[in-house]
Structure 1
Amino acid sequence: MIADIIRFGRFVETPLVDEKMFALKQMSRFRNALVSNMSDLKRKALVVLDQTFPEYQSIFSDVFGKTSSQILLEYSSPSDYEQISIDDLTQIIEQTSRNRLGKKTANKLMELASNSFGVTFCKNAFSFQLKMLMEQIRFIEDQIKECEEEMSQLLIDLDTPIMTIPGVGPILGATILSEIGDIHRFDKPSKLVAYAGIDASVSQSGQFESSGTSISKRGSSHLRRALFQAAITAHKHDPVLKAFYEKKRKQGKHYYVCIGAVARKLCYIIYAILKSNKPYEVPPHSPVET
């Protein structure tokens, strides 16, 4: 193309990617990578914890919640509890849980630590690993929060109606919007559905052709994942999507097949509001389509 410009003076107009939209896409994918990394670290931390203090998880509903995380950072093996008084442990628990938990939890923790069946062989090495893993998890959690703040600001700047759809918050909204990009690239909603890879796949065998309930999984996997996540929430809160989902279930369709159908319908809604740049409104007396 550059050679043509030099030789013949041909200038071809190329659409410039909106900088903020591109930035949003980069931030969204970076956040997804951080979340994936954190999930991996949490799995590793649980493996170590199961070896050193297997009873610990019976105390906290969320091992990686604020209170539990702080305790594991300071006391990563059962033997560490020998160095702390019940009052000091209670204070840590009360402060980090905002008084939702207290001495009862501290007593239970001390009791389990003193009678733990966790391995004592190489306990210092395991304790070191767990502490390092918890520090990494906390660091990535902070990075994710910063990333989400940047994404929220970019969404505000883009002034999009995407979040007027029930089930689409700032994170899913950012992913959906940025993965779609310029909606005018698609001249009809079915092309957006195909781009997301949630159109029905067609299988062929000899003279037989079958369009089943599976999806093609072409296009953007990031967009497809976000649409499915949005569909899971939206079908509970939007009356049109709820009725559509329930009709599919009554037809005997599997849960995930129904969610896939909701995601496709959601794609049509997203196409309409982005094309018109108007907020989503539930149509009065909307028919439930098949």
Structure 2
Amino acid sequence: MFYIGIDIGKRHHEVGLIDDKGNHVGKTLRFANSKAGSEMLLEFINQYKLTPDNTVIGLEATGHYWLSVFSFLHKLGFKTTVFNPLQSDALRHFYIRKTKTDVSDAYLIAQVIRIDSPDETPFIEEDLLQLRHLERLRYSFVDQSSDLKRKIISLLDQVFPEYEQVFSDIFGKSSTEILLHSPLPEDLLKIDTEKLAALLNRVSKGRFGESRAYDKALQLRESALNTFGISIGTDVFKMQIQLLLEQILLLEKHLKQIEAAMIEISNRQQHFLTTITGISDVTACVILGEIGSIDRFERPEQLVAFAGLDASVHQSGDFNSSRTRLSKRGSPYLRRAIWQAAFVASFHDPALSLHYQRLRKRGKAHGTAVGAVARKLTHIIFAILRDNKPYEPRPQLTEDN
């Protein structure tokens, strides 16, 4: 049996070949991340008469650069394993000599495959690959929007600190309309109270009502009249608030497009994730995109570890740490989605809320209890995707742990 290790790079990859005893076979091959490079890899494979029956291939999941190589090898029929760089790092640290080159890494990856004999990585479906890209882009936009909102709040704290006491949601439709056109106290004082009330009533689509809209307009004018905000350089503050708001509105428009595309793709997958309390259509898309094929995991504990929801244990000699934290070594996107779902399930799911309450009664902190719920939720997700059946809460099963 032969073992190929491929060190993945942005523009070039390095290939190393070893036999079943770990001995190097020939020299390494450096090939470009291109069509011509793939032809060089094929020549290397043919040169040593390597076939899917006598060869196993391993490569690190370095960024997104491994996908094209993985796709190429999958078409050739080779058993290929994509693994976390932490696995090769662990073996690298085992050696006394601290060497790290593309050549040494290629052989190291081949040794990992020879020693560990990991399972083949299933080829990700096109729909799931699209979901992964879309949900990660969505998280990027969500985080950008949150950052912009924090900047606006910081600006308002300086020029109009009383504003946030008027609206429960600064970035709701009514407040956003006000800030887009009249973000400064002096801007609001230029608007007649009746006109301001009419604006609020129109933007809220009658939710305020004429009476309440008028009261809100009076409150706004009163706050503007007695503001303790700074009064120098306000034109620049106004421009920043308006430009940042426009960026937020554009991001929100794009988010709607992304989420619609995600849900359309997700609906083509037969899954029952949304039968779980706390998992929305969008959250289900994230879970599907990050997990890919559930066949990658033999046990639910492996999925827990992949999400980074397993506990990191610190032990040395007779010392055992009484505090355990999440390892956070898996997919941050999957962990974020499951954690958000677990937060909702902790208070609304018939079974998982009981588990949360028992842990709280035993003195566990809120975050610790939610983390425990997240792990149980991951077990449930594993079972649903494996069995392709809807979720049925079973309160009695939460007695353990």
Q: TM-score range by the shorter chain?
A: over 0.9
Amino acid in the other structure paired with 1:56: Y
Q: Which runs of 5+ in 1 are unaligned?
A: none
How many angstroms apart in 1 are the aligned matches of 2:188 and 2:245?
18
Q: How far apart are the structure 1 equivalents of 2:43 and 2:364?
A: 57
> Which of 91, 103, 113 is the aligned partner of 2:198?
91
Return the alpha-carbon distance in structure 2 between the equivalents of residues 112 and 251 of structure 1: 47
**1:131-168 CA-partner distances (Å, limit 9, x unpaired):** 11111111111111221111111111112111111111
Percent identity of paired positions between Structure 1 and Structure 2: 42
Query: In the aligned structure 2, how far is the partner of 1:172 from the partner of 1:282?
Result: 19
TM-score (normalizing by structure 2): 0.68
CA 287–28 in structure 1, closer or farther in 2 if over 3 Å, else same:
closer
Deviation at 1:210, TM superposition (A): 4.9
What residue in structure 1 maps to residue 186 of structure 2? 79
Greater share of helix: 1
**Conservation of the 8 A alpha-carbon contact between 1:161 and 1:278:** yes
Relative to structure 2, which stretch is displaced further, 67-76 or 156-165?
A: 156-165
Q: How does 1:199-210 map to 2 (within 5 A)?
A: 199-210=310-321
Q: In structure 1, which of residues 3, 8, 12 is the aligned counterpart of residue 77 of structure 2?
A: 12
CA–CA distance in structure 2, aligned partners of residues 205 and 131 of structure 1 = 56
1:49 aligns with 2:160: no
What's the CA shift for 1:32? 0.6
* 1:115 CA displacement: 2.7
Quick check: 1:201–1:212 contact (8 Å CA) kept in 2?
no
**1:178-257 equivalences in 2 (<5 Å):** 178-210=289-321, 212-257=323-368
Match of 2:281 among 165, 170, 175: 170
Separation of aligned partners in 2, 1:121 and 1:152: 48
2:258 to 147, 165, 189: 147
The answer as to 2:68 corresponding to 1:3 is no
Task: Measure, in 1, the Cα distance between the counterparts of 2:216 and 2:151.
Answer: 25
Structure with the higher fraction of residues in strand conformation: 2
Which of these two proteins has the greater Rg computed from alpha carbons?
2
- 1:271 counterpart residue number: 382
Higher relative contact order (CA 8 A, sep 6+): 1
Q: C-alpha displacement at 1:100, in angstroms?
A: 2.6
1:18-37 to structure 2, matched below 5 A, reads 18-37=125-144
Question: What SS does the corresponding residue of 1:166 show, helix, strand or coil?
Answer: coil
**Compared CA separation, residues 208 and 3, structure 1 to 2 (3 A):** farther
Tell me, yes or no, if structure 1 residue 58 matches structure 2 residue 165. yes
Tell me, what secondary structure is at the counterpart of 2:218?
helix
Q: Provide closer, same or farther for how the CA distance between residues 17 and 86 of structure 1 changes in structure 2, counting only shifts above 3 A.
A: same
Q: Which amino acid aligns with 1:218?
A: R
**Distance in 1, Cα, partners of 2:356 & 2:307:** 20
**In structure 2, C-alpha distance between the alignment counterparts of 1:82 and 1:209, rounded to whole Å:** 64
Q: Which runs of 5+ in 2 are unaligned?
A: 1-40, 52-75, 81-121
Secondary structure at the aligned position of 2:155 is classed as helix
Confirm whether residue 260 of structure 1 aligns to residue 371 of structure 2.
yes
Displacement of 1:74: 0.8
SS of structure 1 residue aligned to 2:314: strand
Moved more, 31-40 or 200-209: 200-209
